[in-house]
């Protein structure tokens, strides 16, 4: 069983912000896997798919970014998810805009949602997909930047990055080894 978690904020006003790249990519993964977000459980909006007989849970925490770990911890416990079968997708200010980077494990870096997940679960050895959002031309504090709406000029770039992240998540959920997913999508 696999758990794919896209990080973001649940309110409509955050829908097109940089901090919702994970939500968008999770939606792309769900579409690829033919799953619909139909239920709410464990403080998350959840879609379910079956790939090769294996159940895949795709989740968007409803706890807001800084408390994402609560939902992830609950989902992992409910579905008995091993850390290597957890995949988290999120925006990353440390990467240039539109870049997609996949890692098998790592730290939270500057990301509060990842800090929450690591703090709640106590694990760092789980795969993650980072979608770069840094714009060298933007001259505002990070907290304001991540909650700002994506510029129309950049919309296609970010839509493409989220789709690529969704494809990588779907490949992972299809049983591809994370190293292979990294080679294919990094």
Q: What's the pLDDT tens digit per position in 17-53?
A: 999 999 999 999 999 999 999 999 999 999 999 999 9
Q: Catalytic residue numbers?
A: 19
Q: Using a pLDDT cut of 90, give the percent of the chain over it.
A: 92
Which residues share a beta bridge with 37? 47
Domain 2-185, classified CATH 3.40.50.12160, yes or no:
no
84-111 pLDDT tens trace: 999 999 999 999 999 999 999 999 988 9
């Amino acid at each position: 069983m696999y758990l794919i978690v896209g990080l973001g904020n649940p309110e409509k006003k955050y829908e097109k912000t940089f901090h919702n790249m994970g939500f968008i990519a999770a939606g792309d993964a769900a579409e690829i896997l033919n799953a619909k977000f139909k239920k709410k459980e464990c403080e998350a909006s959840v879609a379910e798919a079956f790939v090769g007989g294996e159940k895949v849970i795709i989740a968007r925490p409803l706890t807001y970014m800084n408390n994402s770990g609560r939902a992830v911890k609950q989902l992992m416990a409910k579905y008995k998810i091993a850390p290597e079968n957890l995949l988290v997708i999120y925006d990353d200010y440390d990467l240039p805009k539109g870049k997609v980077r996949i890692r098998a494990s790592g730290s939270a870096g500057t990301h509060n949602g990842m800090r929450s997940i690591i703090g709640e679960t106590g694990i760092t050895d789980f795969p993650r997909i980072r979608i770069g959002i840094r714009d060298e031309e933007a001259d505002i504090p990070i907290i304001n930047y991540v909650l700002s709406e994506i510029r129309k000029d950049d919309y296609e770039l970010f839509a493409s990055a989220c789709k690529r992240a969704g494809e990588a998540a779907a490949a992972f959920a299809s049983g591809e080894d994370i190293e292979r997913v990294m080679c294919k999508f990094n």
